[in-house]
Chain A
Amino acid sequence: MNTVVDRQIQAFRDQFQLVRDEISRVIVGNDEIISGVMTCLLARGHVLLEGIPGVGKTKLVQTMADVLHLKFSRIQFTPDLMPGDIIGTNIVREDEAGRKAFEFQHGPIFANMVLADEINRATPKTQSALLEAMQENSVSAAGRTHALDQPFFVLATQNPIEMEGTYPLPEAQMDRFFFKLKLDFPDVEQLHLIVDRTTGQKEPTVQRVLQQGEILEMRETARAIPVARPVQEYAIRVTLATHPESSQAHEMSRKYVRFGSSPRGTQALILGAKVHALMNDRVYVSCEDVRAVALPALRHRILLNFEAEAGRIDTDTILDRILESVPEPKE
């Protein structure tokens, strides 16, 4: 039996590495971001990408769609976008006999990978339509519920600047995203590579390396990784340390946090850690795996207070301090 599991784990690692290498042919640097997006995909989550314009958010998603053999759709969020534009709508169709009937026209959300570009530019009503589908994996329209094909994976992007005319996602909706990944500006070497790759006669192309079924198998493998209670306790301690009212709250949480992470944060910590453990050829989750995914899993689930805003304290700083101070369980 161990041989079967070993083979399963090896396949997981190989496929994961294959996807990462293929994406890296187009996307320069950002290995952690690619791993983070893959982790979300394999942990049945959705990802929110944040970065200034031009750092390759949309390109990353498009490349990923090219690499994975999945149905891909892109929705450019604008203020006049309506929920029907995403979900779909009933239209009147006339058949050959001249009879008229309503027919549901599927919206772009009926895909395996959905790129919600600049999600904060649409109205909350439209955002809610998408986020409901993310949570339920189904869409209700005209009194009927339509299940979404699996894997269903939403990659939303948003721009941290140019906040005029945007509708920032409420905390409850931010919580639906498994990870929030921040794309930093590339360094000099990476910029050289970007220019070399994109200004020549031939742009790099990628191949489809992962089928829909393989992704679903990888998802099952990731879920099967067992977690020892002490490691789970560590993840819970980290989550509780973000709660200012908790007895285990960190000093910075008490000072700067209004609301701590939700239980979804703990779930994200454990599921993300499972994928991280598999990527590192382990069949168990360690506290190190939890630490590795703590920032993307929790940074968007912590609500800061006015004092933190005034002192320009961000959630990453608070989480770094928490991870430094929370001890690993000794037994």
Chain B
Amino acid sequence: MKDSEVILSVLGSIERRLWLRRALQEITYGACVVLFSLIAFQFVGVALSSAIPAVGTGARTAVVAAVVMLGTYIAWRALRQVTLAQAAGEADARARLKDELKSAYWFVSMPEPSPFAELQIARAAATARRLDPGAIVPGRPPRSLYAVAGLGAALLLVTWIAPQQSHSWDGADAAATAAAAAGETQDLRALLEGAPQDPEIEKLDRALEELQRADATAEEKARAAAQARDAIEQANMEAAAAREGLVRLAGAMRANPRFEKAAEALRAGRNDEALALLRQLRAEVGGRDTRALEKDGIRPLSDSEKGLDRGIEERLAEGSRDLSSINARVDQDALDRVVNALQEANQRLEVQSRVIEVKRRMQEAMIPTSQRSALTASQFDSSDNAPNATASPDTGNADIRGGAMFRQGAVTRRNDDEPARDGNMSGSAAGNSEALALEGAATLRLDAQLKLEAIHRRDDAGDDEKADQGWFYSASQEQKSLLGFEDVRARQGFDRENAMSVERVPIRQKHAVRDYFLNLHESEKK
């Protein structure tokens, strides 16, 4: 075998081994990337599908497309040929041959090698005969193969541990998720059991039932969620009205010494105690005969005056009026009316507390209750402002959100008894920001500085006068006076600066000479 053939044979063997090794490396590297992406998607996919339910199918398609593209790219890289020159370069580098094979391969390809090149080819052939291609490019598997095995095991583990989370877009998992949601809704309905009879409770229960239904479509569920939200808001509004009425009732009752204790109990929020006191008063009133009542100036009310068909707020207001004066009529009916209204207000508050609990649980279960969008304002806020179940003492509404507070603050007006202050009152959310202090020199309004003057032109050709042919601005009388004053003051200043001393040297020049020597002296010190 000729020297050149020996070299080419050895290089060919090294080339095949290099190609196989590179293909394996590329494939295992690509597998590593794919496996790692799948593991990462197990976690990312769950989060995405929870936030946006429709993302499941799209994400799966994107993953499949990415894997196909990556596979194509890896196949392209793996199938690239290794040239003999590259094999020679690799062999030189790995066997520390100082470019011997690379140069020999180059000289082999020369048309007419010189004697020195031929000698080099012969020497390189001798070296190539001693070379073991297996030692230069070992047949051991690449290290990335172990990484593939590890990542594959990790993927299996992740898929096995959290199957319900890893493929939330699958039908079976979706059914499991729906079942879990239905169970959650059942728990919510259980919260409403034993609640007072109330239309809002019934409405909320119906909405929850709709949400619980397994075959409900997404649109039906959204509609049910909207109904639940309306019911909750209505219950909150009614409870707020009841609270306001109770506050007024307490204020009115405080004016009457007989109801003072009940009023204190109402103010402190001890409604049951106030109710008990009022019932005791009613019992006392009920024990006396009608004549005694008439003697005291109290007569019984007719049934039409009981007003059971009116709203709780109105009835509490009426009770407030009845009980606000010591001379008002206090009979059994009036007290009955107040007691009934108080009982109903308590019921409203009880309904509200149930509703708030349901709302909190719904929010925890990611069921929108406060806004049309799934993204609530609180989701843009910090976790410190997360909704809680503690109702506001004023409104009973626990849904205190940053956006609502800002809007509320932006329209807050100052109290009328506050002293009047200049400046913008709508700058801050509280609505009571003060104006900035005035800066700069005072200026006159333009209409004080200038006046509009019309130009009257007389037409020489005729006697008739054409008025208001044009107009311009001229200085007003005030402006003329001010400018004249400034002119006089400037002239005085100039005269003072230009005044001669005894030596007939202007003072300004003397000052300049003095400054010059002062500066000179300073520079000398430096």
Contacts and interface: CB of A to CB of B under 8 A. Distances in A.
Interface of A: 1-2, 4-6, 9, 224-226, 228-231, 282-288, 328-331
Interface centre among A231, A287, A330 (most CB of B within 10 A): A330
Given A228-B106, A330-B89, A5 B99 contact: no
Contacts of A225: 116
Contacts of A1: 115, 118
A283 B120 contact: yes
A286 B98 contact: yes
Contacts of B83: 331
A329 B106 contact: no
17 contacts: A5-B115, A5-B116, A224-B114, A226-B103, A228-B99, A230-B85, A230-B103, A282-B100, A283-B120, A284-B116, A285-B99, A286-B103, A328-B89, A328-B99, A331-B83, A331-B85, A331-B86
Given A230-B102, A283-B120, A286-B100, 10 more contacts: A1-B115, A5-B116, A6-B119, A226-B114, A228-B102, A230-B106, A231-B102, A282-B98, A285-B103, A286-B103
Is chain B's interface secondary structure helix, strand, loop, or mixed overall? helix
B117 A226 contact: yes
Nearest to B110: A226
B107 interface: yes
Interface string B109-145: 0000111111110110000000000000000000000
Contacts of B399: none
Contacts of A329: 89
Interface in B73-117: 83, 85-86, 88-90, 93, 98-100, 102-104, 106-107, 113-117
The 10 closest A-B pairs by CB, nearest first: A331-B85, A228-B106, A286-B99, A228-B103, A284-B103, A330-B89, A286-B98, A331-B86, A284-B120, A226-B117
Nearest to A274: B116
A67 to B, nearest CB: 27
Contact of A284 (B88, B89, B107): B107
A283 B123 contact: yes
A331 B116 contact: no
A104 B128 CA distance: 61
B120 A331 contact: no
Contacts of B100: 282, 284, 286
A228 B107 CA distance: 7
B400 to A, nearest CB: 59
A229 B120 contact: no
Contacts of B117: 226, 283-284
A306 to B, nearest CB: 30
A120 B122 CA distance: 49
Is chain A's interface secondary structure helix, strand, loop, or mixed overall? loop
Contact of A226 (B120, B122, B123): B120
Interface in B426-448: none
B303 to A, nearest CB: 101
Contacts of B116: 5, 224-226, 283-284
Contacts, number: 78
Contacts of A6: 119
Contacts of A230: 85, 89, 99, 102-103, 106
A1 B118 CA distance: 9
A283 B117 CA distance: 7
Contacts of B120: 226, 283-284
B92 to A, nearest CB: 9
Given A284-B99, A286-B103, A2 B88 contact: no
B99 A231 contact: yes
A230 B98 CA distance: 12
Nearest to A221: B116
Contacts of A283: 116-117, 119-120, 123
A284 B103 CA distance: 7
A282 to B, nearest CB: 7
Contacts of B119: 2, 5-6, 9, 283
Nearest to B104: A284
B116 to A, nearest CB: 5
Contacts of B90: 330
A271 to B, nearest CB: 15
A1 B113 CA distance: 13
B103 A331 contact: no
B115 A331 contact: no
A255 B505 CA distance: 62
A331 B107 contact: no
A283 to B, nearest CB: 5
Contacts of A286: 98-100, 103
A144 B103 CA distance: 46
Nearest to B105: A228
Contacts of B123: 283
A140 to B, nearest CB: 37
Interface centre among A224, A225, A230, A284 (most CB of B within 10 A): A284
B125 to A, nearest CB: 12
A2 B103 contact: no
A23 B117 CA distance: 32
A331 B85 CA distance: 5
Interface in B35-65: none
A331 B122 contact: no
Nearest to B124: A284
Contact of A288 (B98, B102, B114): B98
Contact of B88 (A229, A282, A287, A331): A331
Nearest to B86: A331
Contacts of B86: 330-331
A154 B312 CA distance: 119
A326 to B, nearest CB: 15
Nearest to A226: B117
Contacts of B104: 284
A288 B98 CA distance: 7
Nearest to A329: B89
Nearest to B85: A331
Nearest to B116: A283
B401 to A, nearest CB: 55
A231 B103 contact: yes
A232 to B, nearest CB: 10
A231 B93 CA distance: 14
A288 to B, nearest CB: 5
B131 to A, nearest CB: 17
Nearest to B98: A286
A6 to B, nearest CB: 7
Nearest to A3: B119
A230 B84 CA distance: 13
A286 B93 CA distance: 12
B106 A2 contact: no
A331 B123 CA distance: 20
A328 B104 CA distance: 16
Interface string B334-360: 000000000000000000000000000
Nearest to A330: B89
A264 B215 CA distance: 86
Nearest to B84: A331
Contacts of A285: 99, 103
Contacts of A282: 98, 100
Given A329-B89, A330-B86, A331-B89, A4 B115 contact: yes
A6 B99 CA distance: 20
A161 B98 CA distance: 40
A78 B113 CA distance: 51
A38 to B, nearest CB: 20
A1 B88 CA distance: 26
Contacts of B98: 282, 286-288
